[in-house]
Homo-oligomer: A and B are copies of this chain.
Amino acid sequence: MISIKEVTKQTGVTVRTMRYYDQIGLLHPAGKTEGGHRLYGEKEMKKLQEIQFLKTIGFSLQEISEMIADENHDWFTGLKKQLGYVSKEKERLAQIEGTLRGLINEIMLNGNIDLFSVQKLIQLYQQNMDKREGYLNQIFNEEESKLLQNLPNINRDDPETLEWIALIAQLKKHMSKGISAPEIQRLIKRMYEKEQETFGDNKEFVEKIWDIRKSPQKSESAGFYPIDAETLDFFEKAYEFYVNKKSNF
């Protein structure tokens, strides 16, 4: 028989917890001293460990209570049910994670972070996909729609998308140095190569996308991530500069 202090030392649970388990009838002490102090035995320690384990895999004390009490409990069904619940929860969190990444990426690109812009972003996020898809289908033909699937979707941590965001963010960072600065031209070169890599010869498609990007309203309708006008303008000029220089060789 060991004291409650010894229990807390061995298992890490608090005194309050033991008292609570006693109170709800989940785990009574083996006995008490004359003065009323709780005493626990081997059996209780084992039971406590079971409880701890079942808690880690997500069961409630209520459920644990019933499981342990029921001599012929259907563990198989219970565990499967729990698995279903856990997987669903995990899925939900994955969704949330995606949304958060999307928001963070957008804020990284936008830079300005106040209630107003976040409100706009939230609204953009809440826009239903139907509208977006409808708009896109209006502009692109089937073949191009397939290519659109390849386009980086901002709420994923897709490496392609990440690189686009990183490149644009760097462009913004060094914008003050002018379109001919070596850093800028290096970035543009990378973007040019990446564009080739992703879309190949499909010039027309690229044109259409840039057309959408140039109009903030169109961008919003299409659900593209917003790039501010200044950066876009700067990019176009730097891009032109790069292409011109290139064709001179």
A162 cross-chain contacts in B, Cβ below 8 A: 162-163, 165-166, 169
Which one of A24-32, A75-83, A226-234, A241-249 is at the B interface?
Answer: A75-83
Which one of A1-9, A87-95, A215-223 is at the B interface?
Answer: A87-95
Interface hub of A71, A99, A107, A193 (most chain B Cβ within 10 A)? A99
Which one of A33-41, A110-118, A133-141, A202-210 is at the B interface?
Answer: A110-118
Identify which of B115, B159, B163, B193 contacts A71 (C-beta below 8 A): B115
Q: Given A73-B115, A170-B163, A83–B101 Cβ distance below 8 Å?
A: yes
Distance (Å) between the CB of A195 and the closest chain B CB? 12
Q: Given A50-B119, A53-B125, A162-B166, A79–B107 Cβ distance below 8 Å?
A: yes
- Whether A183 sits at the interface, judged by CB under 8 Å, is yes
A125 cross-chain contacts in B, Cβ below 8 A: 53
Q: How many residues of A contact B (CB 8 A)?
A: 61
A166 cross-chain contacts in B, Cβ below 8 A: 159-160, 162-163, 165-166
Within the assembled complex, what's the spacing in Å between the Cα atoms of A80 and B76? 39
How many copies are assembled? Answer: 2
Q: Are B108 and A157 in contact (CB under 8 A)?
A: yes
- Using a CB-CB cutoff of 8 Å, which residues 27-82 of chain A contact chain B? 46, 49-50, 53-54, 56-58, 68, 71-76, 79-80, 82
- Whether A167 sits at the interface, judged by CB under 8 Å, is yes
A90 cross-chain contacts in B, Cβ below 8 A: 90, 93-94, 97
Residues on A facing B (Cβ under 8 Å): 46, 49-50, 53-54, 56-58, 68, 71-76, 79-80, 82-83, 86-87, 89-90, 93-94, 96-97, 99-101, 103-104, 107-108, 113-115, 118-119, 122-123, 125-126, 157, 159-160, 162-163, 165-170, 172-173, 183, 186, 190, 193, 197
Q: List 30 A-B contacts (CB under 8 A).
A: A49-B122, A53-B122, A56-B96, A56-B99, A57-B100, A57-B103, A58-B96, A68-B115, A71-B114, A73-B115, A75-B113, A75-B118, A79-B100, A79-B104, A80-B104, A83-B101, A86-B96, A86-B100, A87-B97, A90-B93, A90-B97, A108-B159, A159-B167, A159-B169, A160-B170, A162-B166, A166-B166, A186-B193, A186-B197, A190-B190
